[in-house]
């Protein structure tokens, strides 16, 4: 018969009482019950472990999305500064250095999404535009 459980705590309490009583009345069942109880415990542990894993994964994914957003928010100027530090403030093709502030960033693999430093070079506007016109220009390397 179903009982109107007020809360989980009371339910557990009732179950404990019931089990005690039952064990007293049926000592021969005790061993079997203990075995089943161990098994149940293992199953709940497994379930808890899975839940924890899931939570960890969700937490990690949340963190990663935030991290990726932050990363892609690295400004053009920061990237430029990094490139200038690595390659020097000059055009990669013609060596133009007179006005470093007009140097442009060129994606070697033509993929604008790939902003890894080794995919980027600095070019003066002229060389940059030439690089994007294959018919006119073949890169030196
Ligand atoms: Zn140039």
Q: Please give the pLDDT value at position 106.
A: 92
How many whole angstroms from 122 Cα to the centroid of ligand 1? 9
pLDDT of residue 113: 78
Number of other residues whose CB lies within 10 A of the CB of residue 109: 10
Q: Supply 117's token pair.
A: 């430093």
137, pLDDT greater than 60: no
CA angle (105 as vertex; 135, 113 as ends), nearest 5: 90
- Indicate whether this model's pTM tops 0.75: no
Distance (Å) from CA 124 to ligand 1 centroid: 4
Residue 36 — pLDDT band, cuts 50, 70, 90? confident
Question: 16 alpha carbon to ligand 1 midpoint, in Å?
Answer: 82
Let me know: does 92 contact 123? Beta carbons within 8 Å. Answer: yes
Measured distance CA(9)–CA(12) in Å, rounded: 5
- DSSP strand pairing (104-107 vs 120-123): antiparallel
State the pLDDT at residue 139. Answer: 56
* Alpha carbon of 54 to ligand 1 centroid (Å): 52
Residues making up the chain, counted from first to last: 141
> With b meaning 16 or more CB within 10 Å and e meaning fewer, what string describes 8-20?
eeeeeeeeeeeee
Whole-number Å distance, alpha carbon 103 to ligand 1 midpoint, is 8
- Cα distance between residue 115 and residue 136, in whole Å: 26
- Using the mean position of ligand 1's atoms as its centre, give its distance from the Cα of residue 109 in Å: 18
């Amino acid at each position: 018969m179903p009982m109107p459980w007020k809360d989980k705590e009371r339910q557990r309490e009732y179950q404990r009482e019931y089990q005690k009583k039952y064990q007293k009345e049926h000592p021969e069942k005790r061993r079997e019950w203990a075995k089943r109880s161990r098994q149940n415990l293992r199953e709940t542990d497994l379930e808890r472990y899975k839940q924890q894993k899931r939570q960890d994964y969700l937490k990690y994914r949340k963190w990663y999305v935030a991290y990726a957003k932050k990363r892609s928010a690295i400004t053009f100027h920061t990237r430029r500064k990094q490139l200038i530090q690595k390659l020097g403030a000059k055009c990669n093709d013609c060596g133009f250095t007179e006005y470093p502030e007009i140097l442009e960033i060129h994606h070697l693999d033509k993929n604008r999404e790939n902003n890894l430093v080794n995919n980027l070079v600095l070019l003066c506007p002229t060389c940059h535009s030439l690089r994007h016109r294959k018919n006119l220009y073949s890169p030196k390397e």
